[in-house]
Structure formats: C-alpha cells, structure tokens
Chain A
Amino acid sequence: TQLLEQSPQFLSIQEGENLTVYCNSSSVFSSLQWYRQEPGEGPVLLVTVVTGGEVKKLKRLTFQFGDARKDSSLHITAAQPGDTGLYLCAGAGGNKLVFGAGTILRVKS
C-alpha cells in the first residue's frame, strides 16, 4: 500500500510569515498533486508536478517534486489570511490518487 505522510499536521502563523509543508513517501509516484480545501467545500487542485526535481510557482506558492519522485514540498511566501485552509498532497498511480492526511494552515492577521 502506498502511503503519503504530510508534516506538519497543523500550522498556525502570523500574516507575512513564510512556511513549508512536506509530503513524503517510500513509494515512487508518476506525478504528485497539491489540493487546497476550505471548510465545507471539496478539495481544489492547485498544481500537478510530474518530473523529478520539478519546481512550479503559483504566485506566492512554490511547489517542488523530489528528484526521486517520492516527496514534495509546498512553500508559501508572506502568508495571508486567505491562505488559511487544509492542504492535501496526493500521489498518482494510474488513474487513482493516494492522499496524505493533510496540513491545516491557519494564518492570523
């Protein structure tokens, strides 16, 4: 069974701080996706990384896929209250995804 471990589980920071969320596995994935989920809603896809070592930027969010395609990180620069939510990583194997347990991020103003 493929497992994805996310850390930290919970992060509470002040507006303007930087943070990094990690997603690790002992398995290799063909691609890795990051989702953001707000309370009462379904997850929304933020980005997909496919190539080992790949770095993608989405405004203040930077996503990196490990060289061995087993791990990934999400870095947020100058966090804002609007970044508050649950961040989920998901590893792809064929047309199915394996999800991590998620990181709850709270950004205080």
Chain B
Amino acid sequence: NAGVTQTPKFQVLKTGQSMTLQCAQDMNHNSMYWYRQDPGMGLRLIYYSASEGTTDKGEVPNGYNVSRLNKREFSLRLESAAPSQTSVYFCASSVYSGLIYEQYFGPGTRLTVT
C-alpha cells in the first residue's frame, strides 16, 4: 500500500515549456486534490476532483489544467510554464469518515521555472 505517489520528484523547466505532473493513489479514495506550497503562504488549492469524471477549480487555477484519468489517477498540466509557477506541488486524496474528510498527501514535486 503505497498511499499517494507523485512523479517526478524534481523538475526544472524553461519559461514556455509544458509538462504534466502525475499523481496516483491506491486507497480507493473518491476525492483528489492538487495544491501548491510557497513560502509563507501555506497550501493553496489549484484544482480538485470530488469523484471520478468531475473536476473543479480551486483558489489558484490560472495556468493549470487537470485530468481525472480514472479513480486512481489525477494529473496536473502546465501548458506554458512561467517563473511564477515555481513552487512545490502536492497531490492529495481524501476519504469521508463520519462528518469529516481526511486528506492524505503525496511527497511533492519541486518545480523550478527559469
């Protein structure tokens, strides 16, 4: 049981290049999320998918697209990378237990855009 896995772990892009960040979970969770983490700003939600086949914008969606490929996989795509997208990106999945959703995070992808 690997939990939430993310690839790649590190990436350097030049401005204007594109790339896809991959995320997979093996916990049979319905909901999945993409966050970015910047110093002093906590985690900000980019996109989320409440269930297979649905996606919704979060707080900072501009410049990103997502695909919920199946129940296990949720990818994040940068079509034309910008230096402002330099950040650490975390994928998470969540399970509903009683009244609450508990989120489980992957190890992160450290992206630098030059």
Contacts and interface: CB of A to CB of B under 8 A. Distances in A.
A91 to B, nearest CB: 11
Given A97-B103, A101-B41, A42 B31 contact: no
B58 interface: yes
Dominant secondary structure at the B interface: strand
A43 B100 contact: no
B42 interface: yes
28 contacts: A4-B42, A30-B99, A31-B100, A33-B100, A40-B107, A41-B107, A42-B4, A42-B90, A42-B105, A43-B105, A45-B103, A48-B100, A50-B100, A88-B42, A90-B103, A92-B100, A95-B50, A95-B94, A95-B101, A96-B45, A97-B45, A97-B101, A99-B35, A99-B42, A99-B43, A100-B42, A101-B41, A102-B42
Interface of B: 4, 31, 33, 35, 40-45, 48, 50, 58-59, 90, 92, 94, 96, 99-108
A101 B42 contact: yes
B101 A92 contact: yes
B31 A43 contact: no
Nearest to B101: A95
A42 B110 CA distance: 11
Nearest to A45: B102
The 5 A-B residue pairs with the shortest CB-CB distance in the complex, in nearest-first order: A42-B105, A99-B42, A99-B43, A101-B42, A31-B100
A48 B102 contact: yes
Interface in A50-109: 50, 88, 90, 92, 94-97, 99-102
Contact of A96 (B4, B58, B99): B58
B107 A42 contact: yes
Nearest to A41: B107
Contact of A31 (B44, B48, B99, B107): B99
Nearest to B38: A101
Contacts of B48: 95-96
Contacts of B102: 33, 45, 48
B68 to A, nearest CB: 14
Contacts of A92: 100-101
